[in-house]
Amino acid sequence: MARNPFIADIVALRRHQGHRERLHVHAPLDGLRVSGSEVPPGADVTLDLVLEAVEGGIVVTGTVRAPWRGECRRCLAPCEGEVDAEISEVFVREPEDGETYPIGGDHIDLEPLAREALVPGLPMAPLCAPDCAGLCPTCGADRNAGPCGCPETDVDPRWAALDALRHDA
């Protein structure tokens, strides 16, 4: 079985309190998604961490990064970006739920930490560009490519109310 790149050996680290180790992980982590975007399956997640042995545990600080891709909420074009999260977490033998992470024997598992850092950074409603013009609500043309020729769609709210009445009839 291949070594899990997210499992960090802490035997040497635990021998000396105050000892620090740098850790760089670059490996795929699947299943990172929210409703509007996801880390592409097979794409590498990057962890740049410092592990420090303290009394009773290991402090892990650094950054977690991953590419994401999604669909623009206005024009539906594919769009992409990068999620970049700062982390500062503690691993202990007897973790408290939601507060600290577990030390398992002579190792710590950085995968849950990476997931919990990355998922909140994924955009739920991404935009291909901050000024994306979106699709024409009348003909569906991509207005980023130029005007589609439809009249402006600033519907007078009084007409909208009448339209709604007609639909109900």
Q: Report the interface residues with Zn ion, using CB under 5 A.
A: 72, 74-75, 128, 132, 136, 138-139, 141, 148, 150
Q: How far is the CB of 129 from Zn ion (least distance, A)?
A: 6
* Closer of 47 and 128 to Zn ion (Cβ): 128
| Cβ neighbourhood burial of 40 (10 Å; 0-12, 13-18, 19+) | middle
Q: How far is the CB of 70 from Zn ion (least distance, A)?
A: 11
* Residue with the two structure tokens 């000396």: 16
Q: How far is the CB of 137 from Zn ion (least distance, A)?
A: 8
Nearest to 121 by CA among 29, 12, 33, 27: 33
Q: How far is the CB of 161 from Zn ion (least distance, A)?
A: 23
Q: Which residues of 5-32 are buried (b: 16+ CB within 10 A; e: fewer)?
A: bbebebeebeeeeeeeeebebeeebeeb
* Closer of 148 and 160 to Zn ion (Cβ): 148
How far is the C-alpha of 83 from the C-alpha of 120, rounded, in Å?
9
Q: How far is the CB of 144 from Zn ion (least distance, A)?
A: 6
* Closer of 62 and 70 to Zn ion (Cβ): 70
* Closer of 8 and 75 to Zn ion (Cβ): 75
* Closer of 79 and 118 to Zn ion (Cβ): 79
